[in-house]
Amino acid sequence: MLNGKDALESTVTKTVAGAGIIHIAAHGLFNEVDPERSGVILSQAPDGNEDGYLEAHEIAQMNLSARLAILSTCVSGVGYNYQGEGLIGLARAFFAAGVPAFVGSTWYVDSAATTALMKELHRALKEGKAVPQALKAASIALRADRKYGEPYYWAAFSVIGR
């Protein structure tokens, strides 16, 4: 697990290279003008050699062996629909890098609710549930919580891929 100043692009890219499940919790940005410039905000290197912004085109160039990528960030599951190409965004970048399944959000999410949802998601994955069933179980758990019962808190995330 990398936190704060340790979450540099170089460190993150090395760490995810051999991971079975990639989970990045950070701020996400979707670039409507150039979706391949969409990305997640990480830490900047003190020496200025890294900008701290891991972009979709950088992810697409990686060689990953994970079975699942989870981006618990805002708007990580959206893309721009190019005719004949499909949705271009972070999910597609992870597919290009070799990851067959992706969990991302379609709107700006609440941090505390997303943390609770992700804990439930990982609990369900640990129990052996397939990704769609694990996300469903996590959503049901949050819906039952008075604090997070409204769809805004649990419905932003979806599974893309297989």
Give pLDDT tens digits for 121-150: 999 999 999 999 999 999 999 999 999 999
Q: Distance between CA atoms of 143 and 47, rounded to whole angstroms?
A: 45
What are 103's strand-pairing partners?
70, 159
For residues 102 and 159, the answer to whether their CB atoms sit within 8 Å is yes
State the residue range of the domain holding 148. Answer: 4-161
What predicted TM-score, i.e. pTM, was given to this entire model? Answer: 0.91
Number of domains in the chain: 1
- Grade residue 32 by pLDDT with cuts at 50, 70 and 90: confident
Q: Which CATH number does the domain housing residue 87 bear?
A: 3.40.50.1460
Q: Distance between CA atoms of 100 and 64, rounded to whole angstroms?
A: 10
The angle formed by the CA atoms of residues 19, 155 and 116, to the nearest 5 degrees, is 55
Backbone φ, ψ for residue 109 (5° rounding): -110, 160
- Grade residue 55 by pLDDT with cuts at 50, 70 and 90: very high
